[in-house]
């Protein structure tokens, strides 16, 4: 480009972007702009006449898909201002693993009411499915089967949301009880309670079987594994149901290989910690202590991933088993198996401390809970009566209001909500 040559901006408009969401756009694969609302946008860099441009979606908004019209061309002697980006909600589906009939069910979710409608026939998986996770694109589910020590891969049909087995099952360690994966990277981890290990897998971009990438030692009876939102740290709770001390361990994730390296010393928990949930901001972790009827709170060192206790454990209902954190990070919900209730807490954004704000009735033996991406609807699986309970969430107070109950398969054990392209 000669000195003083004219340059021109490249931009356009965005429509359909949901409230509170943002979208990253790229020009020619690198010039990035983050758009936080509907209306006009411009890429930071300017181009000279005759240069080419190509707008693509870098990071799409949560729960939405975005298409681009007039996104590529050649710059004339004028600014480019007619790139049109249109965003719309991706259809949401809930996938439920039923431990006692060895299936995964698909439900279409109404984004306004939260209503769940069964889709297709349940997919037969391995024996004792107890945990599942989707890939970031919403095209594949991975299901861990505790009774036959395997991971089953399911393809998600893009038109209907129905699922079907797409690859041979892959072996894990003994008695896998949980699976988690890096949000953007290709790695997944299973917590194997029967041999005190974590299995490492590399996932394909297609609905193919995961490839084993090694094993790392955990504590006694690792029960649940979780990965933070940036894919840099993994955490596992060790229930110590047979021997040893209950604890929660932190690991640093190698972004290139998926390998896990311990971060600091294991942190003590209450008795029989069965579940860990991470705050969306990545600063706090919460552990449900099944035998203590408490919730332990930990601060996360943002540089190292190490955990430090933050205050005293908080009382829950009888036998807390699962935790869900509101997408806003303002509220926490705990499913209590013995008392058949959900405990509600407000979260202090500065300290992570929990303040009780109420209790609502669940079904018999609630064992899993999750919220839709907007945080407007909560879903609870009740293993004792084979149902999924649906609640409306008050965004201001966090309070839950019962809406409906849907029948599941036998002993629903885990659920994932997926935005399907």
Encode pLDDT of 4-44 as tens digits: 689 999 999 999 998 889 999 999 999 999 999 999 999 99
* Fold of the domain spanning 7-89: Immunoglobulin-like (2.60.40)
CA Rg value for the chain: 23
Report the mean per-residue pLDDT for the chain: 95
pLDDT at site 373: 87
Please give the backbone phi and psi of residue 252, each rounded to the nearest 5 degrees, phi first.
Answer: -90, 135
What whole-number distance in Å separates Cα of residue 214 and Cα of residue 187? 11
**What's the average model confidence in pLDDT over 268-296?**
97
**Residue 2 scores a pLDDT above 70:** no
Residues in the chain: 421
What whole-number distance in Å separates Cα of residue 147 and Cα of residue 150? 8
CB 41 within 8 A of CB 14: yes
pLDDT band at residue 60, thresholds of 50, 70 and 90? confident
Domain boundaries, the chain: 7-89, 92-419
* Fold of the domain spanning 92-419: Methylamine Dehydrogenase; Chain H (2.130.10)
Percent of the chain with pLDDT over 70: 99
- Record the tokens describing residue 13, joined without a space: 């408009």
pLDDT at site 84: 96
Q: Do domains 7-89 and 92-419 have the same CATH topology?
A: no
Cβ contacts of residue 350 below 8 Å, gap of 6+?
none
Cβ contacts of residue 107 below 8 Å, gap of 6+?
93, 94, 95, 96, 116, 117, 118, 119, 388, 406
**What's the average model confidence in pLDDT over 54-76?**
90
pLDDT band at residue 205, thresholds of 50, 70 and 90? confident
The total of other beta-carbon atoms located within 10 Å of residue 121's CB is 12
Alpha helix (H) residue ranges in 169-226? none
pLDDT band at residue 412, thresholds of 50, 70 and 90? very high
What whole-number distance in Å separates Cα of residue 109 and Cα of residue 241? 37
Q: Which of 128, 265, 150 is nearest to 201 (CA)?
A: 150
**What's the average model confidence in pLDDT over 50-77?**
91
**What's the average model confidence in pLDDT over 212-234?**
97
CB 382 within 8 A of CB 363: yes
pLDDT at site 3: 56
> What does the pLDDT look like over 108-166, one tens digit per residue?
998 778 999 999 999 999 999 999 999 988 999 999 999 999 999 999 998 899 999 99
What whole-number distance in Å separates Cα of residue 409 and Cα of residue 381? 11
């Amino acid at each position: 480009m000669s000195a003083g040559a004219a340059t021109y901006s490249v931009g356009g408009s965005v429509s359909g972007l949901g409230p509170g969401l943002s979208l990253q756009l790229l020009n020619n694969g690198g010039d990035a702009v983050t758009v936080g609302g509907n209306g006009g946008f411009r890429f930071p860099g300017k181009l000279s006449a005759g240069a080419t441009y190509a707008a693509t979606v870098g990071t799409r908004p949560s729960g939405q898909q975005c298409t681009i019209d007039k996104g590529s061309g050649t710059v004339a002697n004028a600014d480019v201002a007619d790139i049109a980006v249109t965003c719309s909600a991706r259809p949401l589906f809930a996938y439920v693993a039923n431990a006692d009939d060895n299936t995964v069910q698909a439900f279409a979710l109404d984004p306004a009411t939260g209503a769940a409608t069964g889709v297709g026939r349940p997919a037969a998986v391995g024996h004792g499915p107890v945990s599942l996770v989707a890939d970031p694109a919403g095209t594949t589910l991975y299901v861990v089967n505790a009774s036959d020590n395997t991971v089953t891969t399911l393809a998600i049909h893009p038109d209907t949301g129905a699922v079907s087995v797409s690859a041979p099952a892959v072996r894990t360690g003994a008695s896998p009880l949980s699976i988690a994966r890096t949000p953007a990277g290709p790695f997944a981890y299973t917590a194997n309670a029967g041999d005190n290990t974590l299995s490492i897998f590399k996932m394909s971009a297609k609905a193919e079987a995961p490839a084993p990438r090694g094993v790392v030692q955990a504590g006694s009876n690792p029960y649940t594994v979780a990965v933070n939102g940036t894919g840099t740290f993994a955490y596992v709770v060790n229930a110590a149901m047979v021997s040893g001390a209950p604890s929660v361990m932190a690991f640093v994730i190698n972004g290139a290989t998926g390998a896990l390296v311990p971060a600091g010393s294991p942190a003590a928990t209450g008795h029989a910690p069965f579940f860990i949930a991470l705050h969306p901001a990545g600063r706090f972790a919460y552990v449900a202590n099944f035998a203590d009827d408490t919730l332990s709170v930990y601060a996360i060192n943002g540089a190292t991933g190490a955990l430090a206790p933050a205050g005293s454990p908080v009382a829950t209902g009888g036998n807390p088993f699962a935790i869900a954190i509101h997408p806003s990070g303002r509220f926490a919900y705990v499913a209590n198996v013995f008392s058949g209730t959900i405990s509600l807490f407000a979260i202090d954004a500065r300290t992570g401390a929990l303040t009780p704000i109420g209790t609502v009735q669940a079904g018999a033996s609630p064992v899993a809970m999750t919220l839709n991406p907007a945080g407007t609807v909560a879903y609870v699986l009740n293993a004792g009566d084979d149902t999924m309970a649906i609640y409306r969430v008050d965004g201001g107070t966090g309070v839950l209001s019962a809406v409906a109950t849907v029948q599941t398969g036998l002993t629903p054990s885990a659920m994932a909500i997926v935005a399907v392209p």
